[in-house]
Amino acid sequence: MKTINARLKSWASILDENAEAQALTTATMPFVFPHVALMPDAHLGLGATVGSVIPTLRAVMPAAVGVDIGCGMIAVKTQFTASDLPADRRELRQQIERAVPTSAGAYNRKVVATAEPRIAELTALAASRGFDPRSYAGNWELQLGTLGSGNHFIEVSLDETDAVWLFLHSGSRGVGNRIAQHHIKVAKALIEKWWIALPDPDLAYLVEGTSEFGRYIDELTWAQRFALLNREEMMDRVARQVSEWMGTPVVESERINCHHNFTQKENHFGKDVWLSRKGAISARAGELGLIPGSMGTASYVVEGLGNPVALESSPHGAGREYSRSAARKAFTVDDLRTAMVGIEYRDTDAFIDEIPAAYKPIDRVMDDASDLVRIRHTLRQIINVKGD
């Protein structure tokens, strides 16, 4: 851990100077207490650095949570081992792609039976919070159980004992994005109305006790629940496809579901704060979490060590070193094929910007996180599903 100054602590041994400068700016906000913690995967973001943990007193910055509210990971350990699996895995990849809509703007054609109780729960939660999700997305029910694009993925992996794990990454989809964008605009309008000068307009904030703050927390809470249930729905579909492929039901021995873009009330250094993790997972002592690598690299099931200076948090992944546009200029589809040798995936140049070399080395990130989490399982991919 490096103390950059009294209000910024960093666990990132690889940190772009622009990302550090951005985090230093965030840490100057007067309601930050006691400090911002930068995770090993930290990189430049919108307003606040991705891979930052930001504790605030009586205020929340919507852009510091991010636009994919509740984005996170879910993993399931099955009873299968590598020796149980057929050698040709293309069929399973294609079955998963048929069962789970992928890519930006891809949604379900209808509400399936497994989604019905989850949608009923979300409908009731929204009503209890006094809002209608249709005001943001008229088809939000059809978004539940969909993956999205970018760095979101579904994987079948093997751990160090060759046990088969199912692993996926997604968030609150279009409805969560629209909720976030709305409240970022509200915060910016209020800051302008109050004639408050900010070092970055994306650090606009909402003040606890105001109606705007209350509405944001209500809708944020809903979007975080949507994201968690979205992952549950997709995982159930993936498990069903594996069951059909294997000819026997999946028996789950472990299921872990965690956010890495979220805000919640926590107590740190003797004060109740709103803790915003933008690209970080909760890592309380003994708490299980998930840290994915990039496409084609290892992922990890971890146990939190409850590091108080890190605000009981840990990294959420590898963290980008190249922007998407820079990665497309630096790498080729042949580079991607080389990186994905031995992994069943959809061979397309659409994924060049997700090539492992565009990210920090995940083993370096995990070394940096050695006082934040303990590794319980190391997973290596054998099937990768992504959306364009």
Tokens representing 149 are: 């694009």
CA within 13 Å, CB half, 233 = 31
Torsion on CA atoms 15, 19, 21, 25, rounded to nearest 10: -130
Active site residue: 169, 183, 316, 377, which one? Answer: 316
Tokens representing 193 are: 């109305």
Q: How far is residue 327's CA from residue 352's CA, in Å, rounded to a whole number?
A: 7
Q: How far is residue 162's CA from residue 158's CA, in Å, rounded to a whole number?
A: 5
Q: How far is residue 298's CA from residue 216's CA, in Å, rounded to a whole number?
A: 36
How many helices and strands in the chain, by DSSP H and E?
10, 17
DSSP state of 320: B
DSSP state of 359: B
Task: Identify which of 320, 168, 380, 381 has the alpha carbon closest to the alpha carbon of residue 258.
Answer: 168
Q: Which long-range contacts (CB under 8 A, 24 or more apart) does 321-328 make?
A: 321/14, 321/16, 321/43, 321/358, 321/359, 321/360, 322/353, 322/357, 322/358, 322/359, 324/353, 324/358, 325/353, 326/358, 327/352, 327/353, 327/354, 327/355, 327/357, 327/358, 328/352, 328/353
Q: Is 316 a catalytic residue?
A: yes
Q: What is the DSSP string of 175-208?
A: HHHHHHHHHHHHHHHHHHHTT---SSGGG--EET
Q: How far is residue 12's CA from residue 2's CA, in Å, rounded to a whole number?
A: 8
Q: How far is residue 155's CA from residue 379's CA, in Å, rounded to a whole number?
A: 10
Helix (H) / strand (E) element for 171: namely none
Catalytic residues: 316
